[in-house]
Structures are given as structure tokens and as C-alpha cells.
Structure 1
Amino acid sequence: MLNESRRRAYLTAMQVVSWLPRTELPFAAPSRPELLVLDEVPVAPVIAQPVAKAKVVVAPSAPAERPKIEVPRPSVTVRAASKPVVEADVAPVVAKAAPVPPPRFALQLLRAGRCLVLVELPTGGAFQSRDPAYLLLKDMLRAAGLPDSPQIIGEPIRWPLLRRGNVDQGPDAAREFVQGFLMARLEDAECACLWLIGLPAVRFAGEVNAESFNRELEIEGLGCAWALPGLELLMDEPHRKADVWQAMRRLMARWKPINE
């Protein structure tokens, strides 16, 4: 509880000139009756002041909504500006095409009677007389009624031709080279049917895939051709030999003499 001197010091610090306690204060000086009339007048302004202040505080609420209007404006500008940047970044990536590595294969051209045989070399090297793949080829030629000692024509075709350099050695270039090589050999002697043994021979001479194995093909510039699985594949999967034999029986009339 405050004494009179300290109470007056607090009121003076708060710049309160006149005041009237609601109850009798202990240790306070006696009240003067004339102050009771004068203190009734300032009561109304004291109560009205907080209302006026409340109106002043509420009034700035209207400008407070201005940031809500301004916030979307920068975002629209940023999106519009960022769109060309994204397109500029994506366009070069789409335009770039991954380089196609050159195919790798080795093919050997042989002549057996009235047929030319373009066969894949399983090991990449020339056939040897005791190679299992070469012995299988001899058996196939014998079963077809052709000489089982075929004549080797030229050196093996090994692709890619160059190990270095900027020359195009992709699939299209390989196809043109193989077909051009065969066309030149066909001009030298007659060919009743061109055997294509192995996927590289079928793909780059006949322009077909493994789905065409054991089928007869008609190739522009090369004439009639027969697509066969590779020798190594026939040794690994012997059940394929039955399909080869059935296809051979249908085509045998092309290269066998009529009187046989």
C-alpha cells in the first residue's frame, strides 16, 4: 500500500493534475468537498479518448491490404520471363542426337556351285579346316546338294573398316558397303541363290532382322536370297536345324539341276 507522498509522486510522473479516489485511501490526506464538483467534468473526455484512439488505429487497415494486390504482379512477370529461358535450355538438348556407334562384324563370301554364301565368321578370323563352324557349313552344303568344299572369294569383310578417323561407319554405311561388294561379285558369275548366314549378313545384305530367318528374300540388285541363323547359333540351339532343313527343301530347286 502506497503512502500519500509516494502516491503523489506517481501521479505527478503520469501528469495527472486532478484525481478522485473511488474509496477512502489509508494514510491519505482528507478530501476537499469542492473537488467533488470539478472532477465530474473531465470524466467524459477521459472515457471518450479511448474511442477516438480506437478509430485512429482502425483507419490504417485499408492500406494494409495493398501488399495483397502487389504480390501477384511480380510473380506474373517472373513466370513470363522464365518461360523463354526454359525453352532456350530445352531446345539444344532435343536437337542433339546421340552418335550411333559403328556395328562390328566379320563376314566371308564363298562360292558353292551356283550359290554364293555370305557367312558370319563366329570368331572374327578366317575359317580353318577343323573349325566346328566350318564343318557344320560343309554338312549344310552337302545336304543342299552343293559342293562341300566352297571356294573363298576375297578377304573377309571386317567392320568397321577404320579404327580412327571421322569417316561415317554407321549402319547405313555398312549396308551400302556390303551390298556394293556383293553386287560386284554377282557380275563375275551367275548366282541362283545368295545364302545369308548369320544376323550381320541378314541385316546388312538383306536389310531384315532375325524374324526373317529361314525365309526367301528378294533383294533389289542382289536377286533371290535365303536368310539363315548363324553357324554358332545353330550349334548352341540344335533344334533350329529342323527349320533350316524344311526351308532348304523348298528352295533346293533353285540351285539344283533340273534332271536331278
Structure 2
Amino acid sequence: MLIESRRRAYLNAMQVVNWLPRTELPFAAPSRPELLEMPEPELEVPVAPAPLGEAPAQPAARQAERPKIEVPRPSLASTRNGAKPVEEVDDTPVVVKPAPVPPPRFALQLLRAGRCLLLVELPTGEAFQSRDPAYLLLKDMLRAAGLPDAPQIVGEPVRWPWLNRGTLDQGPEAARDFVQGFLSVQMEAAPCACLWLIGLPAVKFAGEADAEAFNSELQIEGLGLAWAIPGLELLMEEPQRKAAVWQAMRRLMARWKQSDE
């Protein structure tokens, strides 16, 4: 048996507004008298046929239907004219991450000739051979400077990037710190009157300068005096640069000659 509250819930779910039980229901509320009154039947009135030429009467308006909620959509005409539907704008600020800087690639060899250290760019990335044209040019430069033309190799070549894989930072700043730290250790081991930086990678990552500093003196914090020189390959490709190198050498020659005395 159903109690009254549950019975009304079922009737509401079936959209039944008025109802009368056939028999007395247990636990039911008393019936309302107005629901027991039977309405009188309505008399049908005959409708006369409409005369010829007149439009038939329109049927009575249907019972009001449940209103429909329509979502506005862009019309075809506005789409053809190039108009776009209005979209909501997200005011949330977008954080743009800077693009990662690829690690520089270079190979440097440190040499010692007398009281000078030479940080030389390896044109091919491999260690110098005795008959390499670049190495023969370097020997000529040392003889012209009054230094031994058989420089001693100091350590292994410095190749960058240091690692081919991994998450270690190997950008330009890390390369600069590594090269300068390597030179600082070598200078502490033996004194140096002048540091030769031969090639753009040596000038850039040891002297913190660019190609405009070629044939000039650089004062590097922690490393002292340095001389920026174009790369050996560049001097062979553009021989006219050798005159400027020779003029700069004459200005600096007294530094390492005084050290030898």
C-alpha cells in the first residue's frame, strides 16, 4: 500500500492533475467535493457551409505550446560577408617561455710558447698535425713574434658542447664560464705575459668580444692582457688581413720580450 505523499509523487510524475479512485484508498486524503461534480455536456452547434468565393474559416488556435528556447546562430548571409561569430575572450595572461638557445659549437687548443699562452681555434675540429697549413702559419707567426716556433700543447682540446645529451646547461654563458675557468687554472700553474686569442670562438668565449675586436688588446678580468687575432683559416683565405696582425704584433712584442729578459 502507498502512503499519500508517495502516491502524489507518482501521479505528478505521470502528469496527472485530477483523479478519482474507484474505491476508498487506505491512508488517502479525503476527496474534494468540487471534483465529484460532473460538468454538463456541451451542445454542438451546426455550422452552415460557407458560401462560394469565401475562404474557409481558419481552425481555432491550437492550445498554447510549451515555449522553445533557441540558441542564436550566425546567419548564412553574415558568414558569406566574412563576419565571424563573437567569441568569448579569455583575459588570462599567457606566459610565453623563451625559446631555448642552442649550444655553441667550437674546438679550441691551448698552446704555450715562451711566456705566452695561445688559445687557438682548431679549423677542422681535430688536433693540429705537423704539416697542416694552419699549423705552419702559426709557426711563422711565432717566429715573427720572437717566440719559440714549436709550441707545447697544454691539455686536450676544448670541445663544445661538452655533452651530446643530458639536461646540463650548455648555452653561451656556460661555455664562456668553462673556457675562462680552464684558462685561469693554466695561468695559475705558470705565469703568462700575454694571452693570444686566435679565432672568433676564442675571442668570444674567453675575451667576451666579437670580430670587431680583432688586432686589439683586451683586458679580461681574472685573465689579464689578451690579444685578439683572426682565425688561421681566415688569415689564409684573406691574406690582406696579415698586415693588420703584423702591426698589432709590433705594438705588443715588447711585453713578452721584456718578460724573457
TM-score of the alignment, normalized to the shorter chain, above 0.5: yes
Q: Aligned partners of 1:258, 1:185: CA distance in 2, in Å? A: 18
Counterparts of 2:188 and 2:125 in 1: how far apart (Å)? Answer: 27
Letter in 2 for 1:161: W
1:79-228 aligned within 5 A:
81-82=88-89, 85=90, 87-88=91-92, 91-92=94-95, 95-228=96-229
CA distance in 2 between counterparts of 1:228 and 1:187 reads 23
SS state at 1:234 partner: helix
| Paired AA for residue 91 in structure 1 | V
Structure 1 residue 259, shift from structure 2 partner: 9.2
Instruction: Structure 1: state its 5+ residue gaps.
Output: 1-11, 16-77
Question: Which residue does 1:13 correspond to in 2?
Answer: 53
Structure 2 residue identity aligned to 1:167? L
Q: How many residues align?
A: 182
Quote the Cα distance in structure 2 between the aligned partners of 1:215 and 1:200.
16
Shift of the alpha carbon at 1:14?
Answer: 6.8
CA contact (8 A) 2:139 2:149 kept: yes
SS at 1:252 equivalent? helix
TM-score, length-scaled by structure 2: 0.66
Query: Larger radius of gyration, structure 1 or 2?
Result: 1
Gaps of 5+ in 2: 1-51, 56-85
SS in 2 for 1:187: helix
Residue 239 of structure 2 aligns to a residue whose secondary structure is: coil
Partner of 2:31: none
Describe the superposition over 1:113-139 as per-residue Cα deviations: whole angstroms up to 9, x where unpaired. 110000000000000000000000000
Deviation at 1:258, TM superposition (A): 7.5
Off by >6 Å, runs of 4+ in structure 1: none
Identity of counterpart residues, as a percentage? 74
Secondary structure of the equivalent of 2:107? strand
The code of the aligned residue for 2:122 comes to: L
CA 1:101–1:258 in structure 2 vs 1: closer, same or farther (change >3 Å)?
A: closer
Superposed CA RMSD: 2.2
Paired letter, 1:229: P
